[in-house]
Structure 1
Amino acid sequence: MEILSSAIYDKKIQSYNIIMELSLIEYYEFIKSSMLDNEFQRNKVRSSKTIYALLKQDLITGCVIPPIVLAMNVNIDEEERNNLDLVKKIIIENKRNIFILDGLQRTFTIQDICIDVEKGYIDKSALANPVRIEIYLGLNKEGVLYRMLTLNTGQTPMNLRHQIEIIYSDLINAQNESNFRLIKDTESENLNKLGFYRFSDAIDAFTSFLENDYLQITREKLLSTIKSFDNLSKLRNEADLFGDLMTVYTLFINKVVNAIGDKDIKLDISRENQDNLFGKNAYTIFNKSQPLTGFGAAISRLIELETYERIKDLISNIDLIDIDNLYEGILNLLVELNEIRISSKKIGNSQRCFFYHFFRIYFDKRGDYFLSASASVKQARQAYDRDN
């Protein structure tokens, strides 16, 4: 392993970039632990007729391929950047803390070569062939996401949601100071506990926040999503956008619990409709992808409109929520969601649309219906009808 240059500072994403050269076997040993640890890592492209089959032969014969781009959330300071021995030591000691920004399929191809050498299918001399890598040091998760998007738009990219899964997978079941916990989908028995969310649902919320859209991203929208990071860059002084979003949402759900309790809700509707309510208590109403995505997109929109400067600015408003008004509003919300269920052809998207409008109106401190749940539900239904 050889560092070929001193670190160059990337002003856009506030990170140091370093060029290194390794042999194929050195690179594989360097990267394999981080590849194995992340269950959300994109799968290998499996087709003998793809360009990757040709790439494998090129690497075996010693072809020089474009650098693989990695990121490591380990900081170095101004003095350390020119001490190449120290930088190398820092990189080696933190090799489990790596994201592959660009070059995952090249990495899989190198892995195949190493395995084939071990099995005796390929001469071991191929392992000495060089590969160059770029490493971004000190890149936070928002910066990782930005670089992943900009580096992969020219190919068949992972969708934004998948990339966010990879970057934030370390938060599953992690302790934090914000009183929320992300759990795997298989641990659904914990979903009736305040502050527990499916990791996939929380990812939906954050994706919607970044996209400013409650619907899933399309390839045509990817470029505008990248551009949106220019607007989000002013929030970079926040330590954790993801955590802040889930913290505010958890505080809101806590208010809902105080308003309606944890007992099943009974409405003056038919037995069939009662059995098909969107949710029967505080947890089952709001601990789902539809309200989470609606919330994420709504808060993003309010920040875009400069109603709030940061996500955290909403926290002070949670204390102002009137419990009685919230209780009445939630009952009305369930009635509207029931009517949407009956009339909609795409129920999930329709519910996301309704929640988006509800949260956007409810938390709009410049609007006429700020923290008025009943009025916000009524206005959200009118906005939903206009959209549909």
Structure 2
Amino acid sequence: MEVKSRIFDQRINSENVLIQTTLGEYLDLISEAMDKNPFQRKRVTSSKTVYSLLRDDIRKGCVIPPIVLALSYDVADNGRPTPKKDEDIITAILKRQGDLLILDGLQRTHSFKDVIADTSPKDLAAVRDTPIRVEVYMGLNKIGILYRMLTLNSGQTPMSLRQQIEMLYWEYHNTGVEGLKFVREVDSEHATQPNEYNFKDVIEGFNSYLERNEQPLERTDLLENIRSLEKLSHENNNRDLFKEYVNALHKFIVKVIELVNGTSITKDDLQGKSLWGKDSKQCFKKTQVFAGFGAAIGKLKDREVLENLEDIQQICDDLYFDCEPQEFLIELNSALDWISKNTKKIGNAQRMFFQFYFRELLNSEGDSFKDLKTSIEGALHKTRTQLF
């Protein structure tokens, strides 16, 4: 392995190092990291694709475009700046080869492995010595990794922003956030405890915060995806925005659970109306609520009503309702019942309602500030105005 050039990428704040190596050395280098990148597309297996031709090109000594790798910020040389000496760069890469990520070139890498597997023992050494080029981005953070992957793979169908955000914060699925646990239904788990949340629902809410829109968005436009990542990168500067969002959401949920104090209602209490949720947990730990919460606090932040997400945690300490808990639950269920009976796209209308609800509740300039019950009436009025 030999460093041939080094160029600093100002756009993503990372040094790009061009290395010349051999096919065999590269496969040895990347063997531990082949399946570690959650951002990477799946392998193309069809024999009719261009990758079947690529294997023949490799055997014929065709010059293959460089593979692009990343050594992330958290692991590159213990988080310190890229080494100044070329030989120290090689040492850092070799030392942490299990932490390398393939940004562009997974299909070529699989083709390399196929060629090696199909080569006879007498020709193996010659094939392994085939020269190839590899680019390595040193010290690239998660947003930089995803940004560069989007631009490198612009010919493919880009991921939706929700998919991108889920990948960026996937590590929290395993570690949680300060005592909170994320679960996935595909793992046969359910969020039954106050400190448990469905990971997909939380991602949906955080996506709504970034987009300032409570409705489900499945963007596939590359430029829009990149712009959204730029917004995240700017707002996430020197802080963990996802973590702040989750903590603010949980603070609200905990406060409502405390105020409702175990009270629950039945269908009989609603006198023929549909049941949205029998208790505080069923009422508020839902995707529509998380999306409305995210969109609302994003809009309030843009209007400078909220300075940052930490403000919400302080506001939640003072939330209240001037009624019995049962009356509060009936009022909320009645509002959602009206929506279910008077709108065609019920889920979208529910999201809109909760977006208005949290704007009423958390807006210090409004009449319903901190009042959980009166915010319901204001939110339903605005929802009706928008729908009819």
TM-score by length of 1: 0.82
The corresponding residue for 1:184 is 184
**1:305 matched to 2:303:** yes
- 1:289 is aligned, of 272, 287, 290, to 287
**1:162 matched to 2:192:** no
The corresponding residue for 2:91 is 89
| TM-superposed deviation, 1:358 | 1.7
For residues 285 and 7 of structure 2, the distance between their equivalents in structure 1, rounded to whole angstroms, comes to 44
Amino acid of the structure 1 residue aligned with 2:295: A
The corresponding residue for 2:254 is 254
Answer yes or no: is the 8 Å Cα contact 2:212–2:295 preserved in 1: yes
Matches within 5 A, 1:23-38: 23-37=22-36
Answer yes or no: is the 8 Å Cα contact 1:206–1:245 preserved in 2: yes
Amino acid of the structure 2 residue aligned with 1:157: P
Relative distance call for 1:238 and 1:348 in structure 2 (3 A) is farther
For residues 242 and 45 of structure 1, the distance between their equivalents in structure 2, rounded to whole angstroms, comes to 33
Amino acid of the structure 2 residue aligned with 1:346: K
Give structure 1 stretches of 5+ with no counterpart: none
**More displaced, 290-299 or 26-35?**
26-35
The corresponding residue for 2:367 is 368
Identity of paired residues, percent? Answer: 33
The corresponding residue for 1:242 is 242
The corresponding residue for 2:276 is 278
For residues 109 and 326 of structure 1, the distance between their equivalents in structure 2, rounded to whole angstroms, comes to 65
Query: What do the CA deviations read for 1:54-78 (whole angstroms, capped 9, x no partner)?
Result: 4444444433215425351335578
Answer yes or no: is the 8 Å Cα contact 1:244–1:312 preserved in 2: yes
SS of the aligned residue for 1:17 comes to strand
For residues 43 and 291 of structure 2, the distance between their equivalents in structure 1, rounded to whole angstroms, comes to 29
For residues 324 and 42 of structure 2, the distance between their equivalents in structure 1, rounded to whole angstroms, comes to 45
SS of the aligned residue for 1:322 comes to coil
Amino acid of the structure 2 residue aligned with 1:81: P
| TM-superposed deviation, 1:250 | 0.6
**1:216 matched to 2:216:** yes
Give structure 2 stretches of 5+ with no counterpart: none
Amino acid of the structure 1 residue aligned with 2:252: F
For residues 325 and 12 of structure 1, the distance between their equivalents in structure 2, rounded to whole angstroms, comes to 54
For residues 324 and 303 of structure 2, the distance between their equivalents in structure 1, rounded to whole angstroms, comes to 25
| TM-superposed deviation, 1:247 | 0.8
Query: What do the CA deviations read for 1:64-101 (whole angstroms, capped 9, x no partner)?
Result: 21542535133557865313333333333333434444
For residues 69 and 149 of structure 1, the distance between their equivalents in structure 2, rounded to whole angstroms, comes to 14
What is the RMSD of the two structures over their aligned residues, measured on CA atoms? 3.3
Answer yes or no: is the 8 Å Cα contact 1:174–1:181 preserved in 2: yes
| TM-superposed deviation, 1:293 | 2.0
Answer yes or no: is the 8 Å Cα contact 1:6–1:84 preserved in 2: no
Relative distance call for 1:247 and 1:68 in structure 2 (3 A) is same
**1:226 matched to 2:223:** no
SS of the aligned residue for 1:376 comes to helix
Answer yes or no: is the 8 Å Cα contact 2:276–2:337 preserved in 1: yes
For residues 132 and 216 of structure 2, the distance between their equivalents in structure 1, rounded to whole angstroms, comes to 36
Answer yes or no: is the 8 Å Cα contact 2:39–2:146 preserved in 1: no
Matches within 5 A, 1:1-388: 1-6=1-6, 8=8, 10-37=9-36, 42-61=41-60, 62-70=62-70, 72-73=72-73, 74=75, 80-101=82-103, 103=104, 106-120=105-119, 124=124, 125-174=126-175, 176=177, 178-186=178-186, 189-219=189-219, 223-266=223-266, 268-270=269-271, 273-274=273-274, 277-322=275-320, 324=322, 327=325, 329-388=328-387
Query: What do the CA deviations read for 1:353-388 (whole angstroms, capped 9, x no partner)?
Result: 222222233222233332222332222223323443
Answer yes or no: is the 8 Å Cα contact 1:259–1:324 preserved in 2: no
Relative distance call for 1:215 and 1:257 in structure 2 (3 A) is same
How many equivalent residue pairs?
A: 380
Relative distance call for 1:129 and 1:368 in structure 2 (3 A) is farther
